[in-house]
Amino acid sequence: MLLLSIIYLVSWFNTEMSVPSLIDGWDHMRSYIVGNPEIKGSSFFPPSFIVSDIRLYAKAMFETIEMAVVALFLSIAVGFPLSLVASRNILKILIPGRGWIARGLRRSIYSSAMLVANVFRSINEIVWALLFVSAVGLGPMAGILALGVHTSGVLCKLLAEGNEAIDPGPVEALTATGASFPKIIVYAVLPQTMPHFVSMVLYRFESDVRSASILGFVGAGGIGFYLFDKVRAFENADVTTIIFIIVVTVWLIDRLSAVIRKKFI
């Protein structure tokens, strides 16, 4: 406990955190939110209620959801197989044996899989989006690829942890019968990891929707394009409208996720 307190205090002072600074700057924050009375739309409240603009933002939000959906399937296609070879217990099924060749091969595959996953998830989605915008141009495709790469690395890590926490009994029973590797995965591993799999996939989908909402800042499509445009133009009433649409969308997705979780978990 003492060590944690020391780490916290050192981090607090090294990052120049200051409660008085926040209190002193509160008036500036309030002024920014209130806006300039002489400039129309500079205040965050009330939000903009222009129907044509709301329709435009809603359409862009739907495009953002579509980006997250496509990216999720791409990330599962990459992250799930990668998680199998990033799990030590699964590798022992795939490459049995206690000899130095088997151990070395398992260690090499595991290290390579974790390296790929760490690279994918360590680089922020916006950085990936900048790279893919330079490759495929502006638009949703760059955002989808950025989300897909980053999320595949995150899913690999999360799913691998779930794989390594399974009960080895069913695996050992099927292995003793001479079952093949795919059968062991389907009948012994997946039934145990499915609740964890569903939970992690739904969590990442919610995260991808939120992340996709800001990828438009770098030209990667979605509602983030309009959010960045309005923030840059100080059209804060529209900013509030866009934020409200994002919040409501994420809330609805969270409710839907809760229903799906009840069926699988």
Please tell me the predicted confidence (pLDDT) of residue 245: 95
Q: What is the pLDDT of residue 175?
A: 84
Query: Is it the case that residue 260 has pLDDT exceeding 70?
Result: yes
CA distance linking residue 209 with residue 206, whole number of Å: 5
Query: Which candidate, 187, 191, 165, places its Cα nearest to that of 174?
Result: 187
**Collapsed DSSP state (helix, strand, coil) of residue 222:** coil
Q: What is the pLDDT of residue 241?
A: 95
Looking at the predicted structure, is the pLDDT value of residue 149 above 70?
yes
Specify burial of residue 5 (Cβ count, 10 A radius: 0-12, 13-18, 19+): exposed
CA proximity to 125, closest of 64, 83, 84: 64
Domains of the chain by start residue, with CATH: 71-264 (1.10.3720.10)
Report pLDDT digits (tens) over 50-106.
899 999 999 999 999 999 999 999 999 999 999 999 999 999 888 888 888 888 999
Query: How large a percentage of the chain has pLDDT more than 90?
Result: 48
% of residues, the chain, pLDDT over 70: 100
Sorting pLDDT into bands at 50, 70 and 90, what band is 265?
A: low
CA distance 246 to 58: 9
The verdict on pTM exceeding 0.85 is yes
Output the six-digit token pair for 67.
Answer: 């980006």
Predicted pLDDT at 138: 84
For residue 24, how many C-alpha atoms fall within 13 Å in the half-sphere facing its CB? 4
Residue 86 buriedness (CB in 10 A; 0-12 / 13-18 / 19+): buried
* pLDDT on residue 62: 93
Query: What does the pLDDT read at residue 66?
Result: 94
* Selected residue with higher pLDDT from 217 and 56: 56
CA distance 212 to 30: 28
Predicted confidence at residue 137, as pLDDT, reads 87
